[in-house]
Chain A
Amino acid sequence: QVQLVQSGAEVKKPGASVKVSCKASGYTFTSYYMHWVRQAPGQGLEWMGVINPSGGSATYAQKFQGRVTMTRDTSTSTVYMDLSSLRSEDTAVYYCARGGIAVAGNQDYWGQGTLVTVSS
């Protein structure tokens, strides 16, 4: 069965960086895009970007350009989301979610979420 298992909660200071991991299993890792979506406390869903695990290319939402980097390790079927220059508004639950095969597509499986808290 498809599973996406994310790394644990993080507490960071403003200005720091955070790296969240998402380990995939139960399917061919390089065949499906992987998205990152975040949700601030009590707020809606916000798309951050998507990575193609096959070639490693990524597309980022304009809001996060220059601050986010998505990478993958095919040997461990893991994708990473690195967010830098953290501020309090980045406090949120971060989700990885499997996308489509040939296109980024919608998201049919989601990780359990990783809470990132940014506080001085």
Chain B
Amino acid sequence: EIVLTQSPGTLSLSPGERATLSCRASQSVISSYLAWYQQKPGQAPRLLIYGATSRATGIPDRFSGSGSGTDFTLTISRLEPEDFAVYYCQQYGSSLTFGPGTKVDIK
């Protein structure tokens, strides 16, 4: 099973700042089948990025994904108030696993 590790566990930032979230896999992710989800309290997760770099429908361009192999990054270029949430990475190339999540909270 591919294990995903996310860092940091919590990221404290102010609106307007840049957020950089990391996701590392225990082995190479097949075909860059790596996705990122955003989850707010009491809500279902929302797909942000798939295929490591492609934005899902309706996702603002301040969200971007990069990486390949075992190292992936989600970048939020300028944090908006609605972006404070928990972010999960997921690999779906070999079975399916989620990372433990990174909480982005207001500094």
* A contact set with B: CB distance below 8 Å: 35, 37, 44-47, 50, 59, 61-62, 95, 97, 104-108, 110-113
Contact = CB atoms under 8 A, between A and B. Distances in A.
Which interface class (under 10, 10 to 19, 20 to 34, 35 or more) fits B? 20 to 34
Nearest to B98: A45
Given A47-B97, A50-B96, A61-B95, A106 B44 contact: no
Give the interface centre of A44, A111, A113 by most chain B CB atoms within 10 Å: A44
Contact of B44 (A44, A62, A112): A112
Interface in B1-59: 1, 33, 35, 37, 39, 44-47, 50, 56-57
B72 interface: no
29 contacts: A35-B96, A37-B98, A44-B98, A44-B99, A44-B101, A45-B37, A45-B39, A45-B88, A45-B90, A45-B101, A46-B98, A47-B90, A47-B97, A50-B96, A61-B95, A61-B96, A95-B45, A97-B45, A105-B50, A106-B50, A106-B90, A106-B92, A107-B35, A107-B37, A108-B56, A110-B45, A110-B46, A111-B44, A112-B44
